Amino acid sequence: MQLVNLGLVGGGTVGGGVWTALARNGALMAARLGVDLQIVRVAVRDLKKPRSVAFPDKIVTDDWRSVVRDPSVHVVLELMGGTTTAREVVLEALRLGKPVVTANKALLSRHGEELFAASAKHSTNLYYEASVAGGIPIIKILRESLAGNRITQIAGIVNGTCNYILTRMKLEGADLATVLADAQRLGYAEAEPSLDIDGHDAAQKTGILASLAHGFWVKPEFIPTEGIRNISPLDIQFAQRLGYTIKLLGMVKEVVRGTGAKKGLRSIQVAVYPALVPNGHVLASVNHAYNAIAVRGDVVGETLFYGRGAGSDATASSVLSDVADAALDLKHGSNRRVPPFVSHTVRGSIFPISEVVSPYYIRLMVVDRPGVFARIATLLARAKIGISTIIQPEGHAGEVVPVILMLHDATHAAMQKVLGQIAKLPLVKASPVLIRVEPFE
């Protein structure tokens, strides 16, 4: 049986999970692959740091270069996180012609273009299944299973922390701050939670999916990103009353636009934002820390992929999937059987968020007196934005009360403009809350 030796760089939660999972199922993988997989070197930042896994002292070092450059190491696993040293690790391994497996979404989001180019230059492969959605094999699905499809839409719940928070707000009526504190205590959220609740983690993952599906690199700075900080229990409550559930979505949509000579020009909308999802859609029922990604292909139609999006076991499962692919590619001498980043188009473009059309939900806090609706409706009418539903809920008597508006289709630019005008009205006493509606037609 062929032996493939692994060099592990990073001995934290993910690295320890991979070590444990391989110890548990290494014999099973060998029987399935005809390849014996062994971790022969491990690099960590601090040799004295306590760890959940006891690596054998003889294979552990704090010098990552000695692991990557070791001739006996056939595949390098970069599981250390971060974007500085991790970038050096991956580039050095690729320079040596060694396949690399990474779970590092931040690294790929920031340096993916450079890393994929290095992989091609040195005729080796970069595997990154674990970088998006934990245990859901979405990278393999887009690269291989749906290779015969043009991907027209991806809608993903790809941040488990936000989904956990929004689920508890819906089920318990709790406010965001209370649930966030619980999420931090339980380890679902970091002490500094902005990467999650402001949408940046979801944007990194969504950019990777968009790049893979459409064949050109989508840089994170070009992804409009909104988080969930402004979502209140009132929004959750009224969304439910209207037949919706609020979810933080990573959206990738193919857009066909243009007239005359430019008619049919294709670009993609890429964005992260909270949205009202119809309760009848499967994404509305994805709860707690789970992830789900709905993919629409022009041949296959609608598909859905669901599972745990984080955690040591879920991530380790995806890492071992990549290890299996790398081992089989080495066994059969086909290091680039499926290139790490498959380009389908010569070039592509991001559709401006200002031109994206959507229905909207608005929550206003207004002075409870006659004439308020008329002032707001006049501004919306001037902007040619129609109102489909108005709710002034009972039980909120007082000087300032909430008003909920459901609006017909409008561009993002038009909504931002009219919302600025509404916010300046003396009768409006708080910043308006605007949430898109995703009808999934």
Q: Is residue 339 part of a domain?
A: no
CATH number reported for the structural domain that contains residue 277 in this entry: 3.30.360.10
Please, is 364 exposed, middle or buried when counting C-beta atoms within 10 Å of its C-beta (0-12, 13-18, 19+)? buried
The CA distances from residue 424 to 320, 354, 392, 419, 429, in Å, are: 55, 21, 20, 9, 9
Q: Note whether 260 and 227 are same-domain residues.
A: yes
Q: Note whether 152 and 300 are same-domain residues.
A: yes
Q: Note whether 15 and 128 are same-domain residues.
A: yes
Q: Note whether 128 and 149 are same-domain residues.
A: no
Q: Is residue 347 part of a domain?
A: no
Q: Note whether 361 and 386 are same-domain residues.
A: yes
Q: Note whether 297 and 160 are same-domain residues.
A: yes
pLDDT of res. 67: 98
pLDDT digits (tens, 9 = 90+) for 149-201: 999 999 999 999 999 999 999 999 999 999 999 989 888 888 899 999 999 99
290-297 and 100-102 beta bridge pairing: unpaired
Q: Note whether 21 and 72 are same-domain residues.
A: yes
Q: Is residue 6 part of a domain?
A: yes
Q: Is residue 16 part of a domain?
A: yes
pLDDT of res. 261: 45
Q: Is residue 337 part of a domain?
A: no
How far is Cα 81 from Cα 102, in angstroms, rounded to an integer?
9
CATH number reported for the structural domain that contains residue 68 in this entry: 3.40.50.720
The catalytic residue positions are 205
265-278 and 100-102 beta bridge pairing: unpaired
Q: Note whether 97 and 176 are same-domain residues.
A: no
Q: Is residue 243 part of a domain?
A: yes
Q: Note whether 149 and 295 are same-domain residues.
A: yes
Low-confidence ranges of the chain (pLDDT < 50): 259-261
CATH number reported for the structural domain that contains residue 417 in this entry: 3.30.70.260
Q: Is residue 348 part of a domain?
A: no
Q: Note whether 70 and 147 are same-domain residues.
A: no
Considering its fold, how many domains does the chain have in total?
3
pLDDT digits (tens, 9 = 90+) for 72-119: 999 999 999 999 999 999 999 999 999 999 999 999 999 999 999 999
Q: Is residue 250 part of a domain?
A: yes
The whole domain housing 115 covers: 2-134+312-331
Q: Note whether 160 and 275 are same-domain residues.
A: yes
Q: Note whether 241 and 327 are same-domain residues.
A: no
pLDDT of res. 260: 47
